[in-house]
Structure 1
Amino acid sequence: MDAHVPQRKGLAGLIKPVLLAAGLMLAAFAVLADEGGRFTDPEDGRFDASEHLLKYQGVLPVPIIITEPAVGYGAGVAAVYFDESIADASQHSMAETGRRAPPNISAFGGFKTENGTYGGFAGHMHSWDGDRIRYLGGVAKLAINLDYYGRQGNAQRYTVDGLGLVQQVLMRAGDTPWLFGLRYAYFDSEMHFDRERPLDLLDQTFKQRLGAVGALIDYDTRDNFLSPNAGSYVEGEGNFMRPEFGSTNSFDLLGARAYHWQPLSKSLVLGLRGDWQLAQGQVPFWAQPYVKLRGIPAARYQDRQAAAGELELRFALDERWSVIGFGGMGKAYGGRNDFAEAERVTSWGGGFRYLIARKLGLLAGLDIARGPDDTAFYIQVGSAWR
């Protein structure tokens, strides 16, 4: 087996990390539940973090657990600062505008994975006027190790190393679910292969500056942005790289994604997802769209265009526990092959969820997904679709 390919074939390689993750989660539940009943819901006597999350203010350490097959297992930590509690922020915005708004949040942290990928980041999220205006900004230093499969399908390791930033503002259209925004992103990068460069990439430059101005349109009717049970989220975006924006080459990245959740009964929720991306112009190979599905490594199936669809069913066993099943398919096409000739890839899997914060409607749990080449597991907090 190529040493560059994550060695996760079959379920056997998942047993230890899955048991470890499940054990850590259950141990954390047990310890927290013993702290004077602070993490026990008085309604059902079960573990619940609602009061802790609703009233928390200040710096909150948050562990980062990475299970992405493309980069291997990894971990990190983030320090997240809330300028006021979720409860206070919601109360203040309701009194002023009649709309709930999240607190302003700052964060910084870092991570590293088993294949040598690492990164550090700092960011801030802010809202004004009862969530009519949303701001997001951040900087990051990243060194990402991935595999390029090329026309022959043979994995060849490469690294993209760089420093980037993003600045984004969204504004709500009146009292509607529509938001419109602008984004500026910049990434000063250097790319190299561990071995000889593939013949089909001889025209690619080692150093690239990506400077982009983007436009976004969002439509959001989700009943809960953390773990929706009903409603829709749709986003369309266009990012335009030009020398006048700081980019080495001129190219465009366009995309659209849509999620919908539909209750089928009191216990059953259907989720539907669609995703489409297009690259045109002098785009670096590593920035091209790729199929995004659980169980398929990032950038494994990549081309000028990528499309994916996914279905998820969540069945509530009781007020706290749910089981889910999901399946999806996708294609990368437009450069090497047209849509009809491109390989169709599928993935499927299942998992469980626990209502970890009843008052916030927040679900957390584990997914195990099987793709064409890998079986992977994912720790989920909130919806798997972001």
Structure 2
Amino acid sequence: MPLTTIPLKIIMIKLFLLIVSLLSFFVHADNEQRKSSTSSASYGVSNIIPEWTPDLRDEEIKLKAQKGDFIAVPIPVVDPTIGTGLVVAGAYYHSQSAGERASQPASATQVVAAYTNNDSYAYGLIQKNYWQQDTWRFVSTAAYVALKLTLIDSQYSEDGSQLDWNIEGTLIKSELLRRFDENWYLGGQIRLINNKQTFSGKVEGEAFDQANDPDTKEDSDIAKANGLGLLVQYDSRDSQTNPYKGQRFEFDALLNSTSIGSTKTYQSFNLRYRYYHQLANPLVLSLETKGCAKSGHAPLWDYCTIGLRGFSATSYLDKTSFSAQSELRWRAWHDLGLVAFAGIGYNARSIAQLGDNNSVNSYGLGLRYMLLESQRINFRVDYARSGDDNALYVSVAEAF
């Protein structure tokens, strides 16, 4: 077929996928040589349970299954924590009056299931409700998650030790917020976690498997983290999926106590700020800072991570962390976009010790392909480096 008869969009899609394949090859080759760990910030769970699910009922997109107000879409995922896999998300959108459609998002009941090639998987149910012209917001999640992570990689330990970390358990979390100013919300939350963690691998030349060894099976760490907390949010962004301007602020305080069934008493504090500014029509500057602190007897699986790209999250687990990153997003040509990003992070045993350790640096480049203009949904591919580590990310959600 002559090149002139092939639609431009088809050519661009094939070119985009070719570049993705080449990036995947180079990352895979480098990782095969160095056997780097397969983990990342937030343990990759944010790729399984998205922060925001857009309403796609009236959108004309491929691979969408729809019957009435129920839709389901497949989402490919490549993440250095959980590997390569597929997320299937379905949502039922509840009916609205004309006034409700104009003043608030549609309430929705969502189901999510995911599986990846390192045998990590998850499934869950999410309920989102909006009332009184978006004055009240309610979100509740019930999920089962099983993750296979690496704490010590044999290629990087002096004695060849390998330590694998398996976490599985249930999560129930509910949030209720009320708007008290134009863009401000204040509310409370409850979180109930029942987790089991086991370790396996080879230490000092001896192999072990805690989960299947009769002598150690009963020592598996089973713990509950039940907590109540405070939420403060500010959001002036012009889009939930891909903002061009606006700000987002979140403060999350959670107090886990034995008095409400938690195995240990500890406190968790998280702070996140994002800023977006359109420098020119196709050019957006995005900034993000994140802080995390734990006090008391926090379990390892609830430790702070450094929220940057390009390395294993399990390499930087501690009771406090801070990170800052910037990303320049350029809508370069038609539906194709390019991004460049860089960030810096720290972790330590306490807030007072932040900055005492060497910084963790991250930088990289990314490609974007606009899948849905009306919702600003991009197909995202990022290649990131941090020291000797590197990682490839593929998703349909921006990094922040």
Q: What interval of TM-score do these two structures reach, taking the shorter chain for normalisation?
A: 0.7 to 0.9
C-alpha distance in structure 2 between counterparts of 1:145 and 1:229, whole Å: 36
**Correspondence for 1:104:** 107
State how far apart, in whole Å, the 2-side matches of 1:208 and 1:312 are.
38
- Which residue identity lines up with residue 184 of structure 1 in the other structure? I
Q: What TM-score do you get using the length of structure 1 for normalisation?
A: 0.77
Q: Give the aligned residue type for 1:298.
A: A
Match of 1:130 among 129, 133, 142: 133
Instruction: Report the CA distance between 1:92 and its aligned residue.
Output: 3.0
Amino acid at match of 1:51: E
Deviation at 1:82, TM superposition (A): 2.0
- Tell me if the contact between 2:198 and 2:220 (Cα under 8 Å) persists in the aligned partners: no
Q: Which residue of 1 aligns with 2:86?
A: 75
Give how far 1:171 is off: 0.9
Instruction: Determine if contact 1:188/1:210 at 8 Å carries over to the other structure.
Output: yes
Alpha-carbon spacing, 1:220–1:315, altered in 2? closer, same or farther (3 Å): same
Matches within 5 A, 1:45-84: 51-52=59-60, 57-84=68-95
Structure 1 partner of 2:197 = 191
Structure 1 position 269, deviation (Å):
1.1
Check the 8 A contact 1:9/1:373 in 2, yes or no: no
Cα displacement string for residues 20-68 of structure 1 (whole angstroms, at most 9, x for unaligned residues): xxxxxxxxxxxxxxxxxxxxxxxxxxxx997337x98522222233322
Post-superposition shift, 1:339?
A: 2.6
Amino acid at match of 1:270: L
Deviation digits for residues 334-357 of structure 1 (CA, Å, limit 9, x no counterpart): 269933332322221112223333
**Does the aligned pair in 2 maintain the 1:62–1:77 contact within 8 Å?**
yes
Tell me the equivalent position of 2:273. 258
Structure 1, unpaired ranges of 5+: 1-7, 16-47, 199-203
Aligned 8 A contact 1:133 1:170 in 2: yes
Of residues 97, 121, 126 in structure 1, which corresponds to 2:124? 121
Please report how far the alpha carbon of residue 240 of structure 1 lies from its aligned counterpart in structure 2 after TM superposition: 0.6
Q: Distance in 2 between matches of 1:282 and 1:297?
A: 23
Structure 1 residues 373 and 184: alpha-carbon distance in aligned structure 2, compared to 1, 3 A threshold: farther
Residue of structure 1 equivalent to 2:256 = 241
Cα separation, partners in 2 of 1:304 and 1:9, compared to 1, 3 Å: farther
Query: Could you tell me how far 1:208 is from its partner in structure 2?
Result: 0.6
Secondary structure of residue in 1 paired with 2:60: helix
Q: Does 1:142 align with 2:150?
A: no
Measured in 2, the distance between the counterparts of 1:126 and 1:336 equals 36
The separation in 2 between residues aligned to 1:187 and 1:295, in whole angstroms, is 28
Q: Identity over aligned residues, as a percent?
A: 23
1: distance between equivalents of 2:256 and 2:301? 15
What letter corresponds to residue 190 of structure 1 in structure 2?
A: K
Superposed displacement of residue 309, structure 1? 0.7
* Match for residue 294 of structure 1 among 304, 309, 313: 309
Aligned position for 2:179: 172
User: What's the Cα RMSD here?
Assistant: 3.2
CA deviation map 1:140-174 (0-9, x unaligned):
11111222249979651111121121111111114
State the Cα distance separating 1:197 from its structure 2 match.
8.7
- Contact preservation (8 Å) 1:50, 1:358: no
| Pair 1:264–1:197, CA change in 2 (3 A) | same
The alpha-carbon distance between structure 1 residues 135 and 336, as it changes in their structure 2 partners (threshold 3 A), is: closer
Residue 293 of structure 2 corresponds to residue 278 of structure 1? yes
For 1:317, what is the secondary structure of its paired residue? strand
The answer to whether the 8 A contact 1:57-1:82 is kept is no
Q: Is the 8 A contact 1:57 1:83 kept in 2?
A: no
Q: Please name the residue that 1:362 is paired with.
A: 377
Q: Deviations over 1:285-307 (max 9, x none)?
A: 22110111122223321111111
Q: 1:281 to 1:214 in 2, by over 3 A?
A: same
Query: Which is worse superposed, 334-343 or 230-239?
Result: 334-343
